[in-house]
């Protein structure tokens, strides 16, 4: 069976090469035959990758220990669903999943545009296929998932306990769907340059694809944060770890692109900049994979270090060099059609937004790679961690939040003083009001107060925009407010979807502010019946139990939680001891309310039978997840715009 797997990947390599060659030939000669066979080869790679995944999954589920990958990442006592998800627990399997998603994107792309006979779309498929060459080559010649052991062990090494979590079953595939998806925008950009295409139609198409994978990447990042919160047991969800930063960077540049692309659509400006942003987003998602897998930087997430680092670095260098050369070669195509008329305008705010997003990405990049950079420049290796990012990134992020409120209400070309006055007085007033109200509740410090001001400011501008929209349609529409809002959104999904995304971002910022600035902590050893007080909560130890699970033994502290003297529930904080990994795993107890999370960790059981308990109050942390959900909702609305457009296109002759 393993030979079949190797053969499938090898054939995939062959098909990818064929696809690139055939499409290139078709583009040169204008023959449609080679283009058609090239398209079919892309489909074939998708089928072959799927076949290889099924073969590996079959081995994983059967715990066939003759496979090195299976022996390294599973064990016989591993629950079935984790055996399934260990496909992406290690490097070879992760790369295989990459290939599957990549080829699925290629096929989905061809499916979506199968009626278009424009060779432009074949050129995009050719770019996708050339990236498939890289991944099939890696999987065939450098790190094959189908290596067979000379002497199969009686049992495997087991799955890292950190990965035995429901979150880990969905976080990596969703994150990869986001990462890998940027191949399509990248393909569009390269195709535009290769074929010297002008026009804005591709810009609209690329916006939809970017919105799609940008959304997935965002959800993936948040799921990762959620996993870290529940599984890593340190009371937080974001630690500015290199791997976290790696996933954030393409998301930030993607966000910049989604904004600046609107200027190109409306005013035909910033063309070079937009192409550069697409290329950068794609390179950063490859760089993210490189960081996670190369072991260049120390991270809690770098589960396996390996030899594929140089390959990725080489790929990034090659692809960015080609892209840069093409941009320079096609300078004339990317000439701007208009000039900026005033700084205080929609364009100006977008430009400012872009500068800030790129600065944020740059600071994150610099901080993440600082050990490598400082060693190269000064000879001493210096590392920076969370305090650096909090100092540098927080003010930039707050400036962006303020801009979220200002940008959408500035008019295109030039905003007049009366417009400014009309749009800004009420939001600014609400911002000041919110800040004044927050101070007696214990808010202090410049950044928290700016954040509160900005949150109220942005929320007010969004509400005003909705109100204005409804007002303008007053004579057309009557009915209840919710249905009026729904109709308004339906009429301009991109615009109001965008506002909803902004609203979600505000909610997320409130969550980050609350949980980072107002966190409370308490700890202590508790004997049966003893209590630990933290904020309004009292935790009383009711006992410690021992239990056996499928592949771990579990020690649990049973805690009665009361808030202000009123019993609110019984919680179980545990430590699981995984016999295979010879390692304990903290299992956090979480009492979650809209206002705050009570987060409880069992440190261990002492000789005298007392349990060491550490507890945190994380205010408003649920806002982070709710903000994320609101953003997803907004993305759905903004992206669903395309259905309507498509239908109109079909009707048009």
Partner 1 sequence: MGKSIRLIVLSLAVVAAVGYLILTGVKQTGMQYMSVTELARLDRAPKSEGFRLDGTVSPGSVVYDQRVPRLQFKMTDGKEKIAVVYDGLMPDAFADGREVVVEGAYKHQDRAIYASKLVTKCPSKYEAKGLGKDKS
Residues engaged in binding partner 1 (CB under 8 A) = 66, 68, 71-72, 147-151, 153, 157, 160-162, 233, 298-300, 302-305, 340-343, 351-352, 355-356, 359, 362-363, 366-367, 370-371, 374-375, 380-385, 387-388, 391-392, 395-396, 523-525, 581-586, 601, 603-604, 606, 610, 612, 614
Q: Which of 104/384 has CB closer to partner 1?
A: 384
Where is 548: in which H helix or E strand?
A: strand 537-548
CB of 339 to partner 1, least distance (A): 9
Where is 591: in which H helix or E strand?
A: strand 589-592
Q: Which of 280/351 has CB closer to partner 1?
A: 351
CB of 593 to partner 1, least distance (A): 24
Sign of CA dihedral 214, 218, 219, 220: positive
Q: Which of 583/640 has CB closer to partner 1?
A: 583
Q: Which of 35/585 has CB closer to partner 1?
A: 585
CB of 14 to partner 1, least distance (A): 23
d(CA 429, CA 453): 9
CB of 524 to partner 1, least distance (A): 7
Residue 521's beta-bridge partner residues? Answer: 616
Q: Which of 367/498 has CB closer to partner 1?
A: 367
Sign of CA dihedral 61, 138, 195, 262: positive
CB of 300 to partner 1, least distance (A): 6
Whether residue 97 contacts residue 176, with contact meaning beta carbons closer than 8 Å, is answered with yes
Residue 555's beta-bridge partner residues? Answer: 546, 575
Q: Which of 71/246 has CB closer to partner 1?
A: 71
Residue 534's beta-bridge partner residues? Answer: 537
- For tokens 């509160």, the residue is 452
Q: Which of 303/466 has CB closer to partner 1?
A: 303
CB of 381 to partner 1, least distance (A): 4
Q: Which of 90/634 has CB closer to partner 1?
A: 90
Where is 35: in which H helix or E strand?
A: helix 32-61
Residue 105 CB contacts under 8 Å (≥ 6 apart), including other chains? 128, 180, 181, 183, 184
Long-range contacts of the stretch 326-334 (C-beta < 8 A, 24+): 326/190, 326/193, 326/194, 327/193, 327/272, 327/275, 327/276, 327/279, 329/193, 330/193, 330/196, 331/272, 333/192, 333/193, 333/196, 333/197, 333/198, 333/271, 334/271, 334/272, 334/275
Q: Which of 17/359 has CB closer to partner 1?
A: 359
Strands 589-592, 596-605: pairing is antiparallel
d(CA 389, CA 516): 13
CB of 409 to partner 1, least distance (A): 20
CB of 151 to partner 1, least distance (A): 6
Q: Roughly what angle, to the nearest 10 degrees, separates helices 2-29 and 119-137? A: 150
User: What size, in residues, is the chain?
Assistant: 653
CB of 68 to partner 1, least distance (A): 6
- For tokens 């950063």, the residue is 284
Q: Which of 354/459 has CB closer to partner 1?
A: 354
For residue 582, the 8-state DSSP code is: T
Residue closest to 128 by CA, chosen among 30, 215, 41: 41
CB of 615 to partner 1, least distance (A): 12
Q: Which of 540/612 has CB closer to partner 1?
A: 612
CB of 251 to partner 1, least distance (A): 19
CB of 91 to partner 1, least distance (A): 10
d(CA 33, CA 25): 10
Q: Which of 355/433 has CB closer to partner 1?
A: 355
Whether residue 618 contacts residue 592, with contact meaning beta carbons closer than 8 Å, is answered with no
For residue 140, the 8-state DSSP code is: I
Q: Is 469 helix (H, G, I), strand (E, B) or coil?
A: helix
Strands 611-619, 520-526: pairing is antiparallel
CB of 66 to partner 1, least distance (A): 8
Residue 228 CB contacts under 8 Å (≥ 6 apart), including other chains? 236, 237, 238, 239, 244
Whether residue 634 contacts residue 258, with contact meaning beta carbons closer than 8 Å, is answered with no
d(CA 605, CA 102): 48
Alpha carbon of residue 461 to chain centroid = 27
CB of 398 to partner 1, least distance (A): 12
Q: Which of 168/637 has CB closer to partner 1?
A: 168
CB of 346 to partner 1, least distance (A): 15
Sort 478 into a burial class: Cβ within 10 Å, 0-12 / 13-18 / 19+: exposed
Q: Which of 319/368 has CB closer to partner 1?
A: 368
Q: Which of 303/457 has CB closer to partner 1?
A: 303
């Amino acid at each position: 069976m393993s030979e079949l797997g190797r053969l499938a990947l090898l054939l995939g390599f062959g098909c990818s090469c064929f696809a690139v060659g055939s499409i290139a030939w078709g583009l040169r000669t204008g023959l449609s035959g080679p283009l058609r066979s090239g398209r079919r080869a892309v489909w074939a790679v998708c089928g072959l990758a799927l076949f290889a995944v099924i073969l590996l999954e079959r081995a994983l589920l059967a715990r066939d220990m003759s496979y090195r990958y299976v022996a390294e990442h599973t064990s016989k006592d591993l629950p079935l669903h984790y055996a399934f998800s260990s496909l992406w627990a290690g490097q070879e399997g992760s790369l295989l999943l990459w290939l599957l998603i990549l080829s699925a994107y290629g096929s989905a792309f061809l499916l979506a545009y199968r009626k278009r006979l424009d060779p432009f779309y074949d050129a995009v498929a050719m770019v996708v296929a050339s990236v498939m060459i890289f991944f099939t080559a890696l999987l065939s010649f450098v790190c094959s998932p189908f290596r067979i052991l000379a002497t199969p062990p009686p049992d495997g090494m087991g799955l890292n306990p950190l990965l035995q979590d429901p979150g880990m079953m969905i976080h990596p595939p969703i994150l990869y769907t986001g990462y890998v998806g940027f191949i399509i925008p990248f393909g569009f950009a390269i195709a535009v340059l290769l074929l010297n295409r002008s026009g804005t139609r591709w810009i609209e198409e690329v916006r939809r694809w970017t919105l799609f994978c940008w959304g997935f990447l965002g959800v993936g990042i948040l799921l990762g944060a959620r996993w870290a919160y529940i599984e890593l047991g340190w009371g937080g969800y974001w630690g500015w770890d290199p791997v976290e930063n790696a996933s954030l960077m393409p998301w930030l540049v993607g966000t910049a692109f989604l904004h600046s692309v609107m200027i190109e659509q409306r005013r035909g400006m910033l063309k070079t900049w937009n192409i550069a942003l697409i290329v950068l987003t794609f390179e950063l998602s490859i760089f993210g994979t490189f960081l996670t897998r190369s072991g260049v930087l120390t991270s809690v997430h770098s589960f396996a270090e390996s030899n594929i680092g140089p390959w990725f670095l080489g790929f990034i260098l090659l692809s960015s060099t080609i892209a840069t050369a093409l941009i320079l070669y096609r300078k004339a195509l990317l000439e701007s059609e208009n000039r900026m008329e005033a700084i205080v305008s929609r364009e100006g705010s977008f430009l400012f937004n872009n500068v800030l997003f790129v600065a944020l990405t740059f600071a994150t990049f610099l901080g993440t790679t600082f050990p490598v950079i400082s060693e190269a420049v000064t000879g001493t290796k210096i590392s920076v961690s969370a305090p650096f990012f909090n100092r540098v990134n927080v003010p930039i992020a707050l400036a962006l939040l303020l801009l979220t409120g200002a940008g959408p209400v500035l008019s295109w070309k030039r905003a007049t003083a009366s417009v400014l006055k009309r749009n800004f007085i009420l939001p600014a007033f609400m911002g000041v009001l919110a800040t004044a109200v927050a101070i007696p509740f214990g808010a202090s410090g410049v950044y928290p107060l700016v954040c509160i001001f900005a949150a109220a400011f942005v929320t007010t501008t969004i509400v005003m925009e909705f109100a204005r929209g409804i007002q303008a349609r007053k004579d057309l529409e009557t009915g209840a407010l919710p249905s009026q809002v729904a109709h308004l959104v339906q009429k301009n999904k991109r615009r109001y979807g965008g506002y909803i995304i902004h609203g979600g971002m505000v909610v997320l910022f409130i969550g980050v502010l609350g949980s980072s600035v107002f966190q409370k902590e308490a700890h202590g050893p508790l004997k049966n019946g003893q209590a630990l007080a933290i904020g309004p909560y009292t935790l009383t130890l009711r006992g410690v139990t021992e239990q056996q699970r499928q592949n771990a033994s579990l020690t649990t502290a049973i805690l009665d939680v009361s808030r202000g003297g009123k019993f609110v529930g019984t919680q179980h904080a545990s430590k699981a001891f995984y016999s295979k990994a010879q390692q304990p795993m903290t299992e956090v107890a979480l009492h979650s309310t809209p206002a705050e999370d009570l987060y409880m960790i069992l440190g261990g059981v002492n000789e005298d039978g007392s349990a060491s308990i550490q507890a945190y109050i994380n205010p408003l942390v649920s806002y982070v997840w709710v903000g994320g959900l609101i953003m997803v909702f907004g993305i759905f609305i903004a992206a669903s715009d395309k259905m309507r457009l498509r239908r109109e296109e079909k009707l048009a002759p």
